[in-house]
């Protein structure tokens, strides 16, 4: 039987985004505060995912061996290090989160049956790499607060209550939504970036956070005048809003995950289907 196991590790390290062929003004324009001398640091969290069949001992891989490999090949070398200088790979390309995940894969792959490397730079920014040459994904997490009411306009309050329960009450209710936007692209061999992170964050802010935050979605967002703002439909609409702007940055929108509450979340996997062709479904709320 096949199985995926995950091993967690941590290290603290610093890095700087700076290309010597660019002057100070251009480095600052491209990399912002990340270009400041002598660099800045993060508490990185690494998840190493392994895939394989269970052996006679009930394991994909002996975790004592996995721990030893990760420690020797990764954490001992990177912990309290300056990433731009600790590995020769970063003499030619910057140690961005996505690029660091790629190089970690390369260093672990000879020893372990890898299926995914996930590296958190901080809780609201992480990268995934699966061994596909220079392709990686980058995820940005943000949040907004909004109210909504779940009700179909052509049904009575009683009928809507039967479908949506308390979520159909006429004055609506609110959530602190958490949003995860994942994009996929090719890592630039010089900058180490698959997308301009500042530009991506601005797109998410301009298209989603600013218009959605502290709004009553049914009334303040025209799209939801006719579409019931379930978590599923909100996530779908966000994916539709972001798909083209992300493509204009040179990446592809991969996934939108919307966390409505600790008990309720949904995901739109954008590269599997074209959003504009997805049929909107009105489904009962999860309460």
Catalytic residues: 167, 214, 260
Give kind and range of the element (H or E) at residue 157.
helix 157-164
Cα-Cα-Cα-Cα dihedral sign, residues 228, 232, 235, 238: negative
Q: In b/e form, how buried is each residue of 196-205, taking b as 16+ CB within 10 angstroms?
A: bbeebbebbe
Nearest 5°: the CA angle 66, 72, 77 is 135
Read off φ and ψ for residue 126, nearest 5 degrees.
-150, 165
Q: At what angle do helices 231-248 and 197-204 cross, to 10 degrees?
A: 140
How many alpha carbons lie under 13 Å from residue 149 in its C-beta half-sphere?
A: 17
Q: In the block, which residue shows the tokens 């991506």?
A: 200
Q: How many CB atoms lie within 10 A of CB 106?
A: 13
Per-residue tokens: 160: 């809507």
CA distance 128 to 55: 27
In this structure, how many other beta carbons lie within 10 angstroms of the beta carbon of residue 287? 12
Helix, strand, coil percentages, rounded to 5, for the chain = 35, 30, 30
Kindly tell me the sign of the dihedral angle through the C-alpha atoms of 36, 27, 243, 153: positive
Identify each DSSP E strand in the chain by its residue range. 2-15, 40-53, 81-82, 114-122, 125-129, 135-148, 173-186, 215-216, 252-261, 264-269
């Amino acid at each position: 039987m096949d199985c995926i196991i995950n091993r967690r590790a941590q290290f603290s390290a610093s890095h700087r985004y700076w290309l010597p062929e660019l002057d100070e003004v251009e480095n600052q324009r491209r990399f912002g505060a990340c270009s400041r001398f002598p660099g800045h640091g993060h508490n990185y969290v690494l998840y190493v995912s392994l895939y394989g069949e269970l052996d006679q001992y009930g394991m994909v891989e002996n975790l004592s061996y996995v721990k030893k490999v990760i420690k020797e090949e990764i954490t001992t070398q990177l912990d309290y290090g300056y990433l731009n200088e600790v590995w020769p790979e970063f003499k030619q390309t910057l140690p961005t989160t996505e690029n660091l995940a790629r190089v970690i894969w390369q260093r672990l792959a000879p020893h372990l049956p890898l299926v995914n490397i996930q590296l958190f730079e901080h809780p609201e920014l992480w990268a995934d790499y699966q061994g596909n040459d220079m392709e990686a994904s980058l995820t940005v997490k943000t949040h907004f607060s909004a109210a909504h009411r779940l009700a179909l306009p052509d049904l009575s309050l009683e009928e809507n209550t039967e479908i949506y329960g308390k979520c159909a009450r006429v004055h609506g209710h609110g959530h602190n939504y958490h949003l995860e936007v994942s994009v996929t692209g090719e890592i630039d061999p010089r900058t180490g970036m698959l997308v301009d992170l500042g530009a991506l964050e601005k797109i998410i802010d301009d298209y989603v956070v600013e218009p959605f935050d502290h709004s009553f979605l049914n009334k303040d967002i025209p799209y939801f005048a006719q579409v019931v703002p379930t978590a599923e439909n909100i996530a779908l609409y966000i994916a539709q809003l972001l798909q083209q702007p992300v493509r204009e940055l040179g990446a592809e929108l991969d996934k939108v995950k919307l966390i409505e509450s600790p008990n309720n979340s949904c995901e739109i996997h954008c590269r599997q289907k074209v959003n504009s062709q997805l049929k909107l479904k009105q489904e009962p709320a999860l309460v």
